[in-house]
Amino acid sequence: MAAEYGALLTPTSSARRFKANLVVVLAVVATAIALVPLASVFLFLITRAVGVLGIDFLLQDPPGDLSAAGGGIRNAIAGTLEMTTLATLIAAPLGILIAIFDTEVGGRLATGTRFFIDVMVALPSIVIGIFVYSLIVVAQGHFSGFAGSVALAAIMLPVIVVSTEEMLRLIPRPISEGARALGLSRWRTYASVFLPTAVSGIFTGLLLAVSRAIGETAPLLFTALGNNFFSTDMNEPMQGLPLLIYRNALNSAFPAARDRAMGAALVLVLIVLAFNLLGRWLVSRRKPGRSTGR
């Protein structure tokens, strides 16, 4: 009896306590280290780029010569908007249909498709750029906003498929059984029961896919190519915000180019953040208890 009490009263050895505390300290330090670049990037953009921003910056096109001062990034913002919209129009229906295929048809085919899509999620975006180049730019004989949109769609597609599938899988069994027991046809079940139930999750997945596509540069390098002028012609090369940043950054020896790159980078980050945070907020509204935000 005394021995047991003794064991209870023996405090944890100082060596073990030290190790336990050390790990906590290390974890805190590691997190701080990871957050330093984040803070640094924001500080960098805000301090050095804010001077560049202005109404003119947003509403004017850049000068033909990168090294010349003045002008703005209007064509890039417009181009990004246009290409991302077209990309969404391509990727969203396809992605949802593929997700339905995986959930509904199932079997070996679906497992294979799912694996394919999962690998595609992480494929280097420059490889996607080369693919679209080989297929579309070569066939058309010129660069175009359309090719850029297809490349962005290829980036967005796997994200949409994965999130839609997840949403469809979360539909409660009773709902699915209820629809079946009423003799509803499958397409009707999807159109009127499943998709409406999953719609908020699908929308969130779309938002996250869009926020990723907006920030991508590599897929646009050999597809949309870039353009110094404002354009709404999908058949012509088109400028995108990340492209503009990249090209100006490569010429950052010139102060004008450097400033332009930083201003554009701030605008880009703000746009991406807005989509990202909106998507997260919608997710948190759906699932109030989730502790690991993604």
Of 240-259, which residues contact another protein (CB under 8 A)? 242, 245-246, 249-250, 252, 258
- Under the binding rule (CB under 8 A), the answer on residue 170 touching another protein is no
* Residue in 85, 142, 182, 285 binding another protein, rule: CB under 8 A: 182
Cα separation, 11 vs 14, in Å, equals 8
- Under the binding rule (CB under 8 A), the answer on residue 9 touching another protein is no
- Under the binding rule (CB under 8 A), the answer on residue 40 touching another protein is yes
Q: How far is the CB of 56 from another protein (least distance, A)?
A: 21
Candidates 47, 6, 68, 7; CA nearest to 228 is: 68
String of contacts with another protein for each residue 45-64, x by CB under 8 A: x-------------------
- Indicate the helix (H) or strand (E) that contains 94: helix 74-104
Candidates 163, 154, 156, 111; CA nearest to 135 is: 154
Q: How far is the CB of 253 from another protein (least distance, A)?
A: 11
- Sign of the alpha-carbon dihedral angle for 150, 219, 49, 71: negative
Residue holding tokens 């498929």? Answer: 161
* Residue in 53, 60, 81, 135 binding another protein, rule: CB under 8 A: 135
Residue type, 106: G
DSSP string, 74-87: HHHHHHHHHHHHHH
- Under the binding rule (CB under 8 A), the answer on residue 126 touching another protein is yes
Cα separation, 147 vs 150, in Å, equals 5
- CB proximity list for 192: less than 8 A, separation 6 or greater: 184
- Under the binding rule (CB under 8 A), the answer on residue 181 touching another protein is yes
Q: How far is the CB of 151 from another protein (least distance, A)?
A: 10
Decide whether 82 or 216 has the Cβ nearer to another protein.
216
Segment 65 to 104, residues that bind another protein, using CB under 8 A: 94, 97-98, 100-102, 104
Q: How far is the CB of 130 from another protein (least distance, A)?
A: 4
Part in contact with another protein (CB under 8 A); list of ranges 53-61, 64-72, 216-224, 231-239: 216-224
- The per-residue b/e assignment along 186-211, b for 16 or more CB within 10 angstroms, e otherwise, is eeebbeebbbebbeebbebbbbbbbb
Q: How far is the CB of 17 from another protein (least distance, A)?
A: 7
Part in contact with another protein (CB under 8 A); list of ranges 29-37, 56-64, 66-74, 81-89: 29-37
- Under the binding rule (CB under 8 A), the answer on residue 14 touching another protein is no
- CB proximity list for 255: less than 8 A, separation 6 or greater: 69
Q: How far is the CB of 272 from another protein (least distance, A)?
A: 6
- Under the binding rule (CB under 8 A), the answer on residue 30 touching another protein is yes
Part in contact with another protein (CB under 8 A); list of ranges 52-60, 64-72, 167-175, 231-239: 167-175
Q: How far is the CB of 1 from another protein (least distance, A)?
A: 18
- Indicate the helix (H) or strand (E) that contains 182: none
- The per-residue b/e assignment along 61-89, b for 16 or more CB within 10 angstroms, e otherwise, is bbeeebeeeebbbbbbbbbbebbbebbbe
